[in-house]
Structures are given as C-alpha cells and as structure tokens.
A and B are shown apart, each in its own frame.
Chain A
Amino acid sequence: MVDLLNAIVLMLNFVIIPATSYGAQLALGALGVTLVYGILRFGNFAHGDTMAFGTMFTIFFTWLFQGLGLSLGVLPTALLALPFGIAVTALYAVSMDRVVYRHYRFKRSAPVILTIASVGVMFVTNSFVRFMIGTNEQRFSDGQKFIIKAREFKEWSGLSEGLKLKTTEALTIVVAGMAVAALFWFLQRTRMGKAMRAYSDNEDLALLSGINPERVVMVTWIITAALATLAGVLFGLDKSFKPFTYFQLLLPIFAAAILGGVGNPLGAIAGGFVVAFSEVMVTYPYKKFLKYMMPENLEPSGLMQLLTVDYKFAVSFIILVAVLLIKPTGLFSGKVIRA
C-alpha cells in the first residue's frame, strides 16, 4: 500500500504535474497558431519567436519594476509586467501585419507565400531578440518558489517520496485556464468574436454580411500576441528564458495545433496536452516507479527510459508526421494545411 502511494506521488511529481503545466504552455502557443491559421489561413512560423519577443519585453518590464522596488509578494513580479509585455507584442504583431502580411493578403497570394513570409518575420524577430537580450539563459522568476515542498510533504505524510508543486506550475495552470475561458467567451459571446468565427468559417459570406476583414485580422493579431506572450512568460517562469529554446518550441506547438485539427481552438488545447504528456512520458525513466510497483526480485536493472531527454523533439516530430499521414484533419477535424 505504501509502495503504491509512493509510486503515485512519484508519477505526480515527475510526470503528471510537469506535463500538465507544460501542456498548458503548449496549448496557449498552439491556440495562437490555430487562430492565425483559421483567420489568415497560413501557418505562422514566427509564432515561437513572437513568444520570445513578448517574454523578452516582459522580462525588461520585470527588471524595471524590480528596480523600482515593486513586487507582488509571493507571486512573480513578471505577472505585473505581463500586460505591458502583451501591449508591446500586440503593437509589434499588428505592425508586422501592416508591413509584411497585408501586402500578400491584398494580392490574394497563396498560403505558402504567406508562410514563407512568416519565416522571414521569424528570422527578423529572432535576431532582434538576441540582439536586445543576448543569447544566454535568463531566470526572472521571483516570489515564493514552492507551494508544496518535498521535504515538508515527506514529514507530513511519512512517505519516502516527497510531493512538490512549484508556484510557477500552479500559476501556469490557473492563468492558462483563465486565458482559455476568456478566449472562448470572446469567440462565443461577443459580436467581434462571432465575426471572427464567421470570417474563418466562410470568408465570402462574411464579406457579404458586411464584416470588415481588416478589423477581424487586426483583432486576431492582438489576441495572438497576447496568447504568445502569455505562453512564453509562463514557460519562461516555469523553466527559463532562452531565445533558442523558444525557437525550438515551434515544433511541439505546430504538432499540437495540427494534432488537434488546425483552425480548431478546442483541438489546439487537447493537442497541447497530448504532445506534452507524450514528450514527458516517453523521456521519463521508469526504474524507480517499477521498483515500487513490482515484486522485489523483479526490479529492473536499466533506467527503463524509452528515449533520452535530448531526443524529446523526436516525439513531437513523430506525432506531426503520423497525424499528417494518417489523419491530416487532426483529432477534432480542423482544416488541412494547404500550400
């Protein structure tokens, strides 16, 4: 019985809690990709670097507030800086649309041209971020580090495994939940949200109904920038901020969006969690878990790890390829990305 409890705590600690918060971060990222695809009809490769851009400005504002002596007590100061980071990123996304994407939209270019244009935006954003903040790792989480500490849990429960819950993990889940609820409320209940869905559903009919496409596009970029910044800041608080890591996040985020069915917000969320859980579960060494669960003489000698952490991106990649081969519309029947 104690062994079973220990095994459960172990899984919670190293698989379920980390994968849930990572899944929430991916879900927010994938929501941004899926929104851009649904409305503007192209895969936005600049999304990972938009996340880095937003996180960088949030870090700058965090430093500013820390310098001014402002803080949120047990919560990270970055939460206070977040709205400012979002504002700067929204401005950036809307101006990138004016400078780059609008031109191709007016020309009614093929989606692949917009996607390639977004690769250009990705490189520009990427370089700008590295130029501004450098390529090194930044840790900007302050406030209380843990909600549940492993040692205290051990003393309280008498188990040999300690349960820990980081503030940033709990924060990720709460904030992501609130953001998703707000997004769905916006899309389902407000005039503008419905217009966005209508435009995504049937562009010609939306125009015939008098919906202004440029307004829809602008609001889409603002929401996308907000989601990207949120995803980036939560990821950075939970782990750390490094421009290159954010660029790499593009793969799991695209895998999540396509797995869920691109263009479908609900699918993006489900996809985020599936990708996160797959990644964590495939790279977790189960040796200790099996030691608790199996009779003593059968305990495994190896690490019981399917893939080392270095190869975690292979998981996203396999999911991506498998979905595209087997069910290109994704789990929730979204659109099919076309060139």
Chain B
Amino acid sequence: MSYLIGDTIFGGYGGADILHGCTVAVEKGEIAVIVGPNGAGKSTAMKALLGMLTVREGSVRLDGKDITSLSPQDRVSEGMAFVPQTNNVFAGMTVQENLEMGAYLRRDDITETMEQIFSLFPILGEKRRQLAGELSGGQRQQVAVGRALMTKPSVLMLDEPTAGVSPIVMDELFDRILEVRATGIAVLMVEQNARQALEIADRGYVLVQGENKYTDTGAALLADPEVRKSFLGG
C-alpha cells in the first residue's frame, strides 16, 4: 500500500485519453521518477495525481484515502505540494514573500519552516529581499521548491525541476531533493534528464504512450540494457 498512488488511470484533458491504465506510486521518504519519451504522458500522469485532469477510470489515493474527486486546492490542503514546470514563482514579489505565500493556508508561526528552507537553500536566505523574477534560473527553481515546502507537505511533486538549468545547477538541485527526501517527504518528479534522475531515484517509471513500460528501482532501470538502449541513449 503506497502512500500516494494513482492506480490504473485512464483519462485526459476532455478529448481522447492520454493515460491508458497508467500506475504511479510513491512512498514517504522515497524519490519516484517518471521518465519517458516526449508525449508519453509524464506530466499528464503527475497532473492526474494533482487533480488537474479528468480521470475517467482508476483512482488516486493518498495515505489510503480516495482523493480522486478532490480539487487541486483541496489536495494542497491535504498535504500535497506541486512545483509547476514554468511560471512557478511570483516574479514581482520578494523571495521571502514567495515563501510566505506558500504558507498562505497556515495560521501557525511559519518562521521555523522558513529558517529550515533557508538552511536547505542558503542562497535564498541571502536574497530574501530580492524579487524572485530577478534571480537566475537555478535560484528561481529553488524559490519554487521552497514555496512548495512551506506548507510542510507530505508529498512534493516536481514537474521537470531541472528544465533549462545548467548541469552544475542540476546536480545541486538533485542534492537538495535528496535532502528533502531525508526529511521523510515523498518526492515525485517528472524528468527530462532521465539518466541523472534515475541515479537518485528509489523507484523509476518509464512511460510510453500513457502506459507503464518499465517499473523498477532507479538502479535496476539504469542497468537494464533494454531501457538503456531505448531511453537512455545506450
């Protein structure tokens, strides 16, 4: 019984199905990565878990509770946090205000969580008074992840967090994501950089045309000659 699971999901954005019986699950303290070719439905699978598309068949369960019919906002208050791929910060607001907005639903003292995020991403502490829109791509991604973590979520979902950042920044972001996992949060990512993402993944899903093609631990997928040949460039 996984902590968060999208179980044999069929669905799409209203028209034809994009997902054809796709299953994605993640445990607490674990990183699950969804990889696959373009148009495989990777982001769509994640959006299904978040409630941003019509699930025609199948169910989404969080901690054993069926949340298939909840709106994205309600899922956020249930402890799911989502970092969109683009437009994922409030560009006209300072780093600190971005974090405050992340904690909008919380009525308790947020200074402690904010300190935790500043120790996880020290650069954000230095630039707390700067506008998020003025930061570099990598720093902006850190703001986006920090904002999502402000709700103290139990699940963190990241849609291609390393899109458009340099390889060095990517390595650093993955290091931070490992630290997030260490706090016991379930991390689910969609990644374009499949090889590097599978290296840190406890569980990997290779999707092709909305279906699970391969599912295994990250290391096993990396070792699988079929997966290497078809998806990792040899």
Contacts of B136 in A (CB 8 A): none
**Cα(A207)–Cα(B77), bound, Å:** 11
Which B residue sits closest to A188, measured CB to CB? Answer: B97
Kindly provide the distance from the CB of B106 to the nearest chain A CB, expressed in whole angstroms. 9
Contacts of B93 in A (CB 8 A): 194, 197-198, 201
Contact residue among A201, A207, A208 (Cβ-Cβ distance under 8 Å from B92) = A201
Instruction: Decide: B73 and A205 in contact? CB cutoff 8 A.
Output: no
Kindly provide the distance from the CB of A200 to the nearest chain B CB, expressed in whole angstroms. 8
Interface size class of chain A, counting residues whose CB lies under 8 Å from the partner chain: 10 to 19
**Cα(A209)–Cα(B151), bound, Å:** 8
Kindly provide the distance from the CB of B214 to the nearest chain A CB, expressed in whole angstroms. 31
Known: A194-B97, A204-B84. A209 touches B104 (CB 8 A): yes
Chain B interface residue count, CB cutoff 8 Å, equals 21
| Chain A 177-213 near chain B by CB (<8 Å), digits 1 or 0 | 0000000000000010011011001101111111100
Contacts of A198 in B (CB 8 A): 90, 93, 97, 101, 104
Instruction: Decide: A209 and B101 in contact? CB cutoff 8 A.
Output: yes
B88 at the interface (CB under 8 A from A): yes
Contacts of B90 in A (CB 8 A): 197-198, 201-202, 205-206
Which B residue sits closest to A263, measured CB to CB? Answer: B92
Q: Which of B134-159 contact A (CB under 8 A)?
A: 147, 151
**Cα(A94)–Cα(B182), bound, Å:** 48
**Cα(A206)–Cα(B73), bound, Å:** 10
Among A191, A194, A201, A207, the one with the most B-chain Cβ atoms within 10 Å of its Cβ is A201
Instruction: Decide: B104 and A195 in contact? CB cutoff 8 A.
Output: yes
Contact residue among B72, B89, B97, B147 (Cβ-Cβ distance under 8 Å from A207) = B72
Instruction: Decide: B104 and A204 in contact? CB cutoff 8 A.
Output: no
Among B77, B100, B104, B151, the one with the most A-chain Cβ atoms within 10 Å of its Cβ is B104
Contacts of A207 in B (CB 8 A): 72-73
**Cα(A191)–Cα(B110), bound, Å:** 13
Known: A195-B101, A197-B93, A209-B104. A202 touches B87 (CB 8 A): yes
B76 at the interface (CB under 8 A from A): yes
Instruction: Decide: A194 and B87 in contact? CB cutoff 8 A.
Output: no
**Cα(A211)–Cα(B97), bound, Å:** 14
Contacts of A205 in B (CB 8 A): 84, 87-90, 101, 147
**Cα(A191)–Cα(B151), bound, Å:** 16
B12 at the interface (CB under 8 A from A): no
**Cα(A228)–Cα(B23), bound, Å:** 54
Known: A204-B84, A205-B84. A210 touches B89 (CB 8 A): no
**Cα(A337)–Cα(B103), bound, Å:** 31
B82 at the interface (CB under 8 A from A): yes
Among B73, B101, B105, B147, the one with the most A-chain Cβ atoms within 10 Å of its Cβ is B101
Contacts of A208 in B (CB 8 A): 72-73, 76, 82, 84
Known: A205-B89, A205-B90. A210 touches B73 (CB 8 A): yes
Which B residue sits closest to A213, measured CB to CB? Answer: B73
B91 at the interface (CB under 8 A from A): yes
| Chain B 73-116 near chain A by CB (<8 Å), digits 1 or 0 | 10011000010100111111100010011101100000000000
Instruction: Decide: A210 and B76 in contact? CB cutoff 8 A.
Output: yes
Q: Which of A153-178 contact B (CB under 8 A)?
A: none
Kindly provide the distance from the CB of A331 to the nearest chain B CB, expressed in whole angstroms. 16
Contacts of A209 in B (CB 8 A): 76, 101-102, 104-105, 147
Kindly provide the distance from the CB of A33 to the nearest chain B CB, expressed in whole angstroms. 19
Which B residue sits closest to A194, measured CB to CB? Answer: B97
Contacts of A204 in B (CB 8 A): 84, 87
Contact residue among A201, A206, A210 (Cβ-Cβ distance under 8 Å from B91) = A201
Kindly provide the distance from the CB of A214 to the nearest chain B CB, expressed in whole angstroms. 12
Q: Hey, which bits of chain B sit against chain A, CB under 8 A? A: 72-73, 76-77, 82, 84, 87-93, 97, 100-102, 104-105, 147, 151
Provide 24 A-B residue pairs closer than 8 Å at the C-beta atoms, listed in order of the A residue: A191-B104, A195-B104, A197-B93, A201-B90, A201-B91, A201-B92, A202-B87, A202-B91, A205-B84, A205-B87, A205-B88, A205-B89, A205-B147, A207-B73, A208-B72, A208-B73, A208-B84, A209-B101, A209-B104, A210-B73, A210-B105, A210-B151, A211-B101, A211-B104
Extra contacts besides A195-B101, A208-B76 (4): CB < 8 Å: A191-B104, A201-B93, A205-B88, A207-B73
Across the A-B interface, give the 7 residue pairs with the lowest CB-CB distance, nearest first.
A210-B105, A201-B90, A198-B101, A201-B92, A209-B104, A209-B101, A210-B104
